[in-house]
Each structure stands twice: as C-alpha cells, then as structure tokens.
Amino acid sequence: MIVAVATGGFVFAGLCALVRVLVGPSLADRVAALDVVLVSAMGAIAVDAARRDDPSALIVLVVMAVVGFTATVAAARYIMSEEKS
C-alpha cells in the first residue's frame, strides 16, 4: 500500500515538473524542472529497489545523481555566461 502511494507521488511530481519543462518561461525554470523530474525518477527507482530488496539499482541511482548534478552545473554556467554577454 505505501509503495503504491509513494510511487504515485513520485509520478505525480514528475508529471507536474514535466509540464513546467514544456511551459517554463525561462531556461533556468526548465533546468530546475528537469532536476525535479530526475529526482522523482530516482525516488521511484529507490522505492522499487526497496520493495524488491534489490541493491543493484543503487548503482543506477548514483550514476543518475552524478549525471544530473553535472548537467545542472553545466546549465548554470551556461546561463551565467549568457547573462554577462
């Protein structure tokens, strides 16, 4: 029961953020919304891994976190460079 509620919450948050990615007025809004989508997907994967008692998904979560962080930093640097010029 709690797994279904948690997964549903992550899916709902991801869908709301996906709408923000498509409608977002600025690039910064879209980058922040993509972070929310990524974290929601990571949360859903973590809940599924806990339900199945399978630690192999943790490697996927670490890779997703590193890629998401790197992409956010790169996008922030790009936005800052665009504002200066």
> Rounded to an integer, what distance in angstroms lies between the CA atom of residue 82 and that of residue 84?
5
Sign for the CA dihedral angle at 8, 12, 17, 18 comes to: positive
Range of the domain at 17: 2-84
CB 13 within 8 A of CB 36: yes
> Rounded to an integer, what distance in angstroms lies between the CA atom of residue 50 and that of residue 39?
16
CATH code for the domain in which residue 52 is found: 1.10.287
What is the count of structural domains for the chain? 1
Tens-digit pLDDT profile for residues 25-64: 999 999 999 999 999 999 999 999 999 999 999 999 999 9
> Which pLDDT band holds residue 83 (cuts at 50, 70, 90)?
confident
